[in-house]
Amino acid sequence: MFEVPMYRKNGSRIELQDLLEKVPDNDWVWLIIEFDGVANLPNDESIDEFQNRIRYLPKGLVQTWENILRFSRCIDYTVDCLIVAVSCVEQVDVERLLNDEFQDCVIFIRAIDSTDWMLHASNPEILDGFKIVTS
């Protein structure tokens, strides 16, 4: 795992979509556990409505690869988020993830207060891709 600023040295901002571009097509289970930011969500759903909807889901909002990509394209600005990919949703312990214990995750992406990304990928090639995006 590594932590990087959300802003590159050239001043451009790294968003979720930039990170996901380095992930190959997959059949992992993607979970949106937390999200706060600015987005044009489908069905004119507000961020408050979206947050209320996912807040009470025991494993977060379960997504396919295609759906998490679609979600990332709706985002204009990320403040906070916790999004993970796992091979088996039954293994997920949200409380552990909220404490940054990501060992059971294929991918762990966390945005912190509009300032930093915490990133982990069990696949070294994906992790290297994250490092390229964030440099």
Whole-number CA gyration radius for the chain: 14
Tell me the helices (H) and strands (E) count for the chain, helix number first.
5, 6
The strand pairing partners of 35, in sequence order, are: 81
Residue with tokens 């992790």: 127
**Confidence at residue 69, expressed as pLDDT on a 0 to 100 scale:** 97
**Confidence at residue 76, expressed as pLDDT on a 0 to 100 scale:** 94
Closest CA to 82 of 70, 95, 69: 95
The strand pairing partners of 117, in sequence order, are: 4, 111
**Confidence at residue 58, expressed as pLDDT on a 0 to 100 scale:** 92
CA atoms within 13 A on the CB side of 7: 7
**Confidence at residue 101, expressed as pLDDT on a 0 to 100 scale:** 86
Q: pLDDT tens for the chain, 135 residues: list them.
A: 899 999 999 999 999 999 999 999 999 999 999 999 999 998 889 999 999 999 899 999 999 999 999 999 999 999 999 999 999 998 888 888 888 888 889 999 999 999 999 999 999 999 999 999 988
Range of the domain at 44: 2-133
Buried b (16+ CB within 10 A) or exposed e, 55-72: eeeebbbebebeebbebb
pTM score, whole prediction: 0.93
Q: Is residue 85 within 8 Å of 97, Cβ to Cβ? A: no
**Confidence at residue 135, expressed as pLDDT on a 0 to 100 scale:** 83
What backbone phi and psi angles, to 5 degrees, belong to 95? -60, -40
What total of structural domains would you count in the chain?
1
